[in-house]
Amino acid sequence: MEKVLLKNIDNPDSADIGEYRKAGGYRSLPKALELEPKAIIEEVKKAGLRGRGGAGFPVAMKWTFASSDPKFPKYLLCNADEGEPGTFKDRPILEKNPHLLIEGMIISGYTLKAEYGYIYLRGEYPEAKHILDKAIAQAYENGFLGEKIAGKDVRFHLAVHQGAGAYICGEETALIESLEGDRGQPRIKPPFPVNVGAFSMPTVVNNVETLSNLPYIIEIGGEAYSKIGSPDCPGPKLYCVSGHIEKPGVYELPMGTILKDIIYTHCGGIKGGGKLKAVIPGGISTPVLPPDKLDCPMDFVNMPKHGSMLGSGAVIVMDESVCLVKVCYRALKFFEHESCGKCTPCREGTGWLRSILGRIEDGSGVDGDIELLLSVSGNIMGKTFCPLGDGAASVVQNFIKHFRPEFEDHIKNAGCSLKN
């Protein structure tokens, strides 16, 4: 497959506007400006583009909602918070191909009649901040951003807004709160951001990878784009693979590539010829899978049918040296730390789960602890304000579902039988 999102990134100067243009960049923008915004939404719909931030929401639908709201100004926000543990797929776009994202945002801004855009960038990517600031300045100098884009009566302004280390700010309404200068606590929906978002105006939030698909959709057309990868959920997809794997990294493959093939064909299999124990397929919030469940197409439609989710496409591979109780404990420590504290089941429940898992891991677990974990998880599931709480509960439920004997062993033998 031709590389779209990671095109040209082996060129050490790929982040420079000159190199981007040499590789064909900024050619879709003038083409898009010749089209009516409605026609662009139509192309995106034909393309079947779904959001790459985790939920897989159809982009054309979100854009239609925002476009049909009569309020102005409208805002376009790029979600570059990339906080889901295991995820590092947006980073190569931000650091190596910033103009692809910027071109995608200008096209999207024009389509939505949004005149202001912000890239909400996680604080942990200081390098990307410098690169994006420079790329944005170059885009202004070249007349792609500002008051008269490419000489037309189109304006779009873009700036980077730097986060400060809060995973929950990746959730779109928390992101908006944080952009507005507040604590990053999610808002109740409805109203949805497409109607009442940033500064109470219609707002579209899309992921970095999502927006970076726009230039290519304009270039080849929605119809051709929809032929790439899964028919239900087409396009190129970035998979980021880490853990006990021979060749970790970010891979651009057709959406729907089989998980097993990602691991064994593209990434060279388990590190050092080790034996596979478990895979988290889409970032730490997605259900863990045992080795016999990897024949699943990695896309938003098929993964739920195979007991997990595509999430952010962050594949974490674990070999037999790994204690899964410990992984589960570490995950819950993360959720407890990142819970924004707004609602009780998540704020209190993540702490309880972490604490029970901690005692099982260190050998002081007692009979009934597994049932207690399931009971606490069940009391979180479906009862929280935003999906962070559900994610935490489902992590515990799925580790127990697939690896219960390992939890039981820890309790029976007062600790972990693995050495590490």
Partner 1 sequence: MLSEAAIKEIEAIRAKYPTARAALLPAIYVAQREFGWLSPEAYEAVSDILGIPKAIARGVATFYAMYRHRPMGRNVVQLCTNVSCMILGAEKLVDFLKNRYSLEPGGTDPDGRFSLVIMECIGACGTAPAMLVNEDFYENLTEKYIEEILGKYK
Ligand X SMILES: Cc1cc2nc3c(=O)[nH]c(=O)nc-3n(C[C@H](O)[C@H](O)[C@H](O)COP(=O)(O)O)c2cc1C
Residues that bind partner 1 (CB under 8 A): 82-88, 91, 116, 122-127, 157, 159, 161-167, 178-185, 199, 240-244, 248-250, 280, 284, 314, 316, 318, 321-322, 326-327, 330-331, 334, 337-338, 340
Contacting residues for 158 by C-beta, under 8 A, at least 6 apart: 102, 105, 106, 109, 116, 117, 118, 119, 136, 139, 145
Instruction: Tell me the residue type at 226.
Output: S
- Could you say which of partner 1, ligand SF4, ligand X, none residue 343 binds, taking C-beta under 5 to 8 angstroms by partner kind? ligand SF4
**From candidates 48, 86, 104, 170, binder to ligand X by CB under 6 A:** 170
Contacting residues for 112 by C-beta, under 8 A, at least 6 apart: 37, 63, 66, 67, 74, 76, 204
Q: Outline where DSSP puts E strands in 95-181.
A: 114-121, 157-162
Residue number, 43 or 81, with CB nearest to ligand X: 81
Report whether 263 contacts 315 (CB < 8 A): yes
**Distance of closest approach, residue 200 Cβ to partner 1, in angstroms:** 10
Shortest CA distance to 77 belongs to which of 213, 189, 211, 204? 204
Query: What is the end-to-end Cα distance of the chain in Å, rounded?
Result: 41
Q: CA-CA distance, 267 to 248, in Å (whole number)?
A: 6
Shortest CA distance to 3 belongs to which of 237, 219, 227? 237
- Could you say which of ligand SF4, ligand X, partner 1, none residue 337 binds, taking C-beta under 5 to 8 angstroms by partner kind? partner 1
**From candidates 108, 138, 206, 242, binder to ligand X by CB under 6 A:** 206
- Could you say which of partner 1, ligand SF4, ligand X, none residue 346 binds, taking C-beta under 5 to 8 angstroms by partner kind? ligand SF4
**Distance of closest approach, residue 15 Cβ to partner 1, in angstroms:** 15
Residue number, 9 or 233, with CB nearest to partner 1: 9
Report whether 395 contacts 332 (CB < 8 A): yes
Residue 383 within binding range of ligand SF4, rule CB under 6 A: no
Question: What pairing do the DSSP bridges indicate for beta strands 314-319 and 276-280?
Answer: antiparallel
**From candidates 45, 134, 347, 359, binder to ligand SF4 by CB under 6 A:** 347
Residue 54 within binding range of ligand X, rule CB under 6 A: yes
| Residues 212-251 close enough to bind ligand X by CB under 6 A | none
| Chain contacts with ligand X (rule: CB under 6 A) | 51-55, 57, 79, 81-84, 168, 170-172, 205-207, 210, 386-388
